[in-house]
Structure 1
Amino acid sequence: MIVTANARLSISVETTLNPLTNALEIKSLVLPIEFSDTITIDVFNTAFMDIVHYTNKALHVKEKRIIDEALLKMREQFGYKQNFSVKIHKNIPTGHGLGSGASDATAVVKAVAHLAKLKPTPEQYYNLAVKIGKDVPYFLVNKPAVYNLNKQEVTPIKFKHNPQVLLIIHPDIYEKENVVKDFLDYGESLQKPLEKVVELAESGSLRELGSVLFNDFSETIIKHTPALRTVLNDLKQLNVEAYGIAGTGTTIFALSDNRHLLRFISDKYRKQNYQTVMTKVIR
């Protein structure tokens, strides 16, 4: 069985420090995008255990633990006897804020359920996703939504736009755990409301939406990878409608109705050894 696992784009990120627990609470406005990995799942000899491997040389495969955990939790919950071979062809780079590990895990869980002839209820899927964590609850919904990471709650929105999407991916890897730790050490919340971003995502123009996008982690990420500021300034000078840093990674996104402009920018940064990807929002 062959399935795809798409990336997601966090276009605004709001942080709040819980005064009681001293934990950082994170809410994001998230868009699913067509950029995806390809996964082959086959029933394996029952004398073996589940095997997960990558068919191409991946830059960073720490995410394998997420998929191993998903298969383990799946077996614990449903008790099926089949074993599975999972082959992942990576397109989405790991560790760049695009959610590829959680997306792959979600796709594998759904494929195993189909092959093992299970029929999980939405509640069972959600409970399993919460046990796995790592944004898997978001990918069960896989729609434009506000995602509360701490509560693992997904609230879909009506995203009115249909822009071209450009990803400009810096080769540096900045682990999410380190981003959060560094933010707690020296970062500062921008104190902007995510509600305004949601309002313009649903009813404003793309340029109006771009004017209110924010990411509380941006300055922390730029301090780690200063070259990102140059890219952001370039996008501003080129009058791109909406852009920013995606989530907690070193990926910059640009949203525009001008495909030719994004192609020009893509070519420019590809020559500077960035990975660039043209894609679309999944609606």
Structure 2
Amino acid sequence: MNNASSMSADAISLCAYSKINIHLKVLAKRKDGFHNLESIFQRISIADYLSLEKSSDLHGCTVESPLLPLPAENTLTKAWEVFKGATGINGGIKVRLIKNLPVGSGLGAGSSDAAALLKVVNELFAMPLSDSELTTLALQVGSDVPFFLKDPAGVVTGRGEVFEPIQARTDCFGILIWPDVQSSTKEAYSLLDKQREVLSGEYEAWGYEKLVAQYCAPFKTWRFVNDFQPVLEQRYPVIAQVRKELHEQGAEFAQMSGSGSAVFGLFSSKNLMASAFQCLAKRWSWCQPFLLLA
């Protein structure tokens, strides 16, 4: 869960933790144009940092992001507009965002930032919106946003709005590498849809029970998939190279997250992870250790 680190009557600072997709099946396309999904999401210890402050001089949302310039319209401003439209509040906010996570990495950072904003403004403006109502607003911002209002790990289905929690595992140590490739969700879906026009793919969902049984099994026996991974590795071979190097350094499981392009590796011990990190950090400029959150 997004944890507030400091709070006052008119300002809150907090972490917006990212996630990895341990499993990701892209299922049939829906009538609304979205695809149904089946995924296991788990929050990890790498985060963006936000400070939000009420402003009587503003009616909108101004965002200061000193480490990474953002477009005028972004997930934070969109979340604010959705919240304001639902509540009719008369006021505004200032947001300072310390952006630690790269854009186009498949880690849900923008979605986590938006979910953090929704939770905070609900507190700052003393609104009585329930968790269910916040989830409805979150889905209007983006398909991944509702997850970041939920428990740290779970099976996500639908277009992202259906969440079934699972007991989060924390018995491993991770390394996350972003190979400096910005992979957009739109591009990933386009590549996958084109492939499926000529190749028959496996569209069936695994189901909650099979996913949980596999999740509880030893990491080295995991057979989880990411349907985006093959087409993205073909388009960007460096993603496959990262995954290969993680395995070579002792990762028991390594996979691309989301629609790419970040790749994570899970190690059975802290010493194994530390040794691998020492080597991989020399090869990849964006390489960070992480923990699974519970």
> Shared fold by TM > 0.5?
yes
Once the 2 structures are TM-superposed, how far is the Cα of residue 157 of structure 1 from its aligned partner? 1.2
1:163 to 165, 172, 185: 172
Once the 2 structures are TM-superposed, how far is the Cα of residue 240 of structure 1 from its aligned partner? 2.0
Partner in structure 1 of residue 109 of structure 2: 100
Higher mean displacement: 14-23 or 1-10? 14-23
Using structure 2 for the length normalisation, give the TM-score: 0.86
- Distance change in 2, residues 1:47/1:125 (3 Å): closer
Once the 2 structures are TM-superposed, how far is the Cα of residue 234 of structure 1 from its aligned partner? 2.9
> Aligned equivalents of 1:3 and 1:24: distance in 2?
32
> Aligned equivalents of 2:235 and 2:22: distance in 1?
20
Using structure 1 for the length normalisation, give the TM-score: 0.89
1:135 aligns with 2:153: no
> Aligned equivalents of 2:91 and 2:32: distance in 1?
42
Once the 2 structures are TM-superposed, how far is the Cα of residue 252 of structure 1 from its aligned partner? 0.8
Once the 2 structures are TM-superposed, how far is the Cα of residue 74 of structure 1 from its aligned partner? 0.5
2:214 to 200, 204, 215: 200
**Paired residues for 1:110-129 under 5 Å:** 110-129=119-138
2:52 to 33, 41, 55: 41
Partner in structure 2 of residue 77 of structure 1: 86
Gaps of 5+ in 2: 1-11
Partner in structure 2 of residue 242 of structure 1: 253
> For the Cα contact (< 8 Å) 1:30–1:146, is it kept in 2?
yes
What residue identity is the alignment partner of 2:185?
Answer: K
> For the Cα contact (< 8 Å) 1:12–1:194, is it kept in 2?
no
* % identity of equivalent residues: 19
> For the Cα contact (< 8 Å) 1:2–1:38, is it kept in 2?
yes
> Aligned equivalents of 2:176 and 2:160: distance in 1?
28
Gaps of 5+ in 1: none
> For the Cα contact (< 8 Å) 1:169–1:251, is it kept in 2?
yes
**Where in structure 1 do 4 or more consecutive aligned residues deviate above 6 Å?**
19-22
Partner in structure 1 of residue 274 of structure 2: 263
Give RMSD over aligned pairs.
Answer: 2.3
What per-residue deviation string (whole Å, max 9, x for no partner) do you get for residues 233-257 of structure 1?
2333344222111111111111122
1:279 aligns with 2:293: no
> Aligned equivalents of 2:60 and 2:30: distance in 1?
45
What residue identity is the alignment partner of 1:77?
Answer: A
Partner in structure 1 of residue 263 of structure 2: 252
Higher mean displacement: 121-130 or 192-201? 192-201
Question: Is the partner of 1:271 in helix, strand or coil?
Answer: helix
> Aligned equivalents of 2:162 and 2:32: distance in 1?
19
> For the Cα contact (< 8 Å) 2:58–2:93, is it kept in 1?
no
Count residues in correspondence: 278
> Aligned equivalents of 1:117 and 1:65: distance in 2?
24
Once the 2 structures are TM-superposed, how far is the Cα of residue 49 of structure 1 from its aligned partner? 2.9
Higher mean displacement: 186-195 or 64-73? 186-195
> Aligned equivalents of 1:48 and 1:22: distance in 2?
33
